[in-house]
Amino acid sequence: MTDYAEVRALMVQSALIPRGIRNNLVLEAMARVPREKFLPAELKSLAYEDTPLPIGGGQTISQPYIVAYMIEALALRGGEKVLEIGAGSGYAAAILGEICREVYAVERIGQLAEKAARNLLDLGYSNVHIRHGDGTHGWAEEAPFDAILVSAGAPDIPRDLLRQLAIGGRMIIPVGSSKTVQELIRVTRIDEDDFEREDLADVRFVPLIGST
C-alpha cells in the first residue's frame, strides 16, 4: 500500500523547493493536502508526479509546482479571504483553505463542482465554499477579496473580477488568446481605478469559459 504522506513529502522536497518555492505557508500546505483524494481512483498512483492529470469533463488538475507557484505569487500571509475561479476537483481550493480564513471557489462544470464540494467536505474544509457557475462573474456578494486565483486561461482579465479585488489585493490569472499557451499575470489593485500588472511566466491552462 502506498504511503501517500511519504510520497507527498518527497514531492515537496524534490519538485517544489529545488524549483524555487520558498513560502513556508505554501510548502506546509502542499505537504498536508492529499492530492490523491482529488483524482479519479485509477490515477491515484500518479498523484505526486509533477504533472497535470485529467479529472473529467475535459478538465485537468494542475501540476503541483504550478499550484504552489501561483499561490506563492499571491503573497498570502494567512487569514485572507480569497476567491478561486476554476475549482476543478478542489485541490487548489484545499491548499488555499490551509492558508486562508475563507475560500470561495467557482466551477463551471456541475459534475466537477459537486465532486469538489464532496472532496472538501470529506476532508473537513469547512472554510472552503464551492459554487457551480460562470467564474467570469466571480462571487459578487462575498467581495471584496484579498486575493483572487484564476485556474483557467482567459483571453483578457474579466472586469467583474477586477472590481471584486480589494484595494491592495492581488490576482493571479493566465491570460492569452492561444488555447495552448498563456502568460501568467499578477494584477495588484493600487486604488479604485488603478491596477498594476506584472508578467510572471508562460503557462498552459484549459480555457476560462464564460459570458465575459
Active-site residues, by number, are 62
Cα 27 from Cα 180, distance rounded (Å): 28
R_g over Cα of the chain: 16
Cα 175 from Cα 156, distance rounded (Å): 6
Nearest to 76 by CA among 146, 12, 142: 146
Amino acid present at 208:
L
Q: Which three cell numbers stand for residue 26?
A: 505554501
Cα 175 from Cα 76, distance rounded (Å): 22
Dihedral pair phi/psi, residue 41, rounded to 5°: -55, -40
Nearest to 145 by CA among 179, 187, 116, 107: 187
Cα 47 from Cα 72, distance rounded (Å): 21
